[in-house]
């Protein structure tokens, strides 16, 4: 069983909810990546989504776009990130999910990419611009390397397609909460809970909500209807401000040491 499946099994046994923070690799310099991953693990992360900076990040809002620009300015490369992740794997026990657009993988070479991330102990990938119709170019190799592709559905995805997408995955289904880009928001569409419930019903694997989540209130509300949350922009912002105490507070309900 893959590390991701294991983590979710453990959560289920304890009636727990998952917290998956996102960070941009190379923001603040690639040399701080391992320490940041360790910190997120200590604060109670279930798994960590590690973003690869890219020049045309079509799904990203301003906070993550800017983090990507900072990372690219400090000359972060996919190769460099994978090298750091291999070091992290010796210390970090929770699953690592690499989030990248397709283009950097393509430029790296698909075979080399899969082999290198497998050696680095990566457990999953999120590739937002890889539709299920095109998966064959990559997913068989990932499956062979025991790396899960985490697939996304959004409020614009028809129910029939949600069923199809959810039925393919093993790790978790990423439920995008908005028809839009990443970034903190105060309000969600009023029918979001209904949508979450419908997705949850259709999905044989855990469902995590992401996009626009930045407060404990939002987390408490959303996790009534799903198995956990992904938080990106808020975490990126707190790392940038070096406001680690606020990060610890945001994650405190997930930190078993505090219970």
Q: Does 49 bind ligand IGP (CB under 6 A)?
A: yes
By CB under 6 A, residue 60 contacts ligand IGP: yes
- The enclosing H or E element of 228 equals strand 228-231
Count the alpha carbons within 13 Å of 78 in the hemisphere toward its beta carbon.
21
Half-sphere exposure of 109 (CA within 13 A, CB side): 5
203 contacts ligand IGP (rule: CB under 6 A):
no
CB of 156 to ligand IGP, least distance (A): 14
Phi, psi of 210 (to 5 degrees): -150, 165
Per CB under 6 A, contacts with ligand IGP among 106-145 are: 126, 128
State yes or no: residue 33 binds ligand IGP (CB under 6 A).
no
Please say whether the beta carbons of 214 and 184 come within 8 A: yes
Q: State which of residues 51, 124, 171, 228 lies at the interface with ligand IGP (CB under 6 A).
A: 51
Binding of ligand IGP by 211 (CB under 6 A) = yes
Name the segment binding ligand IGP (CB under 6 A); options: 87-95, 154-162, 164-172, 209-217.
209-217
The rounded distance, in Å, linking the Cα atoms of 2 and 5 is 5
Extract the tokens encoding 63: 């906070």
Catalytic hit among 5, 27, 41, 49: 49
Q: Which stretch binds ligand IGP (CB under 6 A): 87-95, 117-125, 200-208, 210-218?
A: 210-218
Residues noted as catalytic: 49, 60
Binding residues (CB under 6 A) for ligand IGP: these are 22, 49, 51, 59-60, 64, 99, 126, 128, 182-183, 210-213, 230-234
């Amino acid at each position: 069983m893959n590390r991701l499946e294991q983590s979710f099994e453990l959560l289920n046994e304890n009636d727990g909810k998952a917290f998956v923070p996102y960070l941009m690799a190379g923001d603040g310099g690639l040399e701080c990546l391992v320490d940041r991953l360790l910190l997120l693990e200590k604060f109670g992360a279930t798994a960590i989504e590690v973003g690869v900076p890219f020049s045309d990040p079509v799904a990203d809002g301003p906070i993550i776009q800017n983090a990507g620009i900072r990372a690219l300015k400090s000359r972060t490369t996919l190769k460099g990130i994978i090298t750091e992740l291999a070091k992290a794997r010796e210390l970090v026990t929770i699953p690592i999910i690499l989030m990248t657009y397709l283009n950097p993988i393509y430029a790296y070479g698909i075979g080399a990419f899969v082999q290198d991330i497998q050696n680095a102990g990566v457990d999953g990938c999120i590739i937002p611009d890889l539709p299920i119709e095109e998966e064959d170019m990559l997913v068989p190799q990932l499956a062979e390397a025991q790396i899960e592709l985490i697939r996304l559905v959004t409020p614009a995805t028809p129910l029939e397609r949600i069923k199809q997408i959810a039925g393919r995955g093993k790790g978790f289904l990423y439920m995008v909460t908005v028809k839009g880009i990443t970034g903190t928001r105060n309000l969600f569409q009023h029918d979001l809970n209904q949508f979450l419930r419908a997705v949850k019903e259709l999905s044989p694997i855990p469902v995590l909500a992401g996009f626009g989540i930045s407060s404990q209130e939002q987390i408490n509300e959303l996790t009534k209807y799903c198995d956990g949350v992904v938080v990106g922009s808020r975490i990126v912002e707190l790392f940038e401000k070096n406001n680690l105490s606020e990060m610890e507070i945001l994650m405190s309900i997930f930190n078993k040491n505090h219970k």
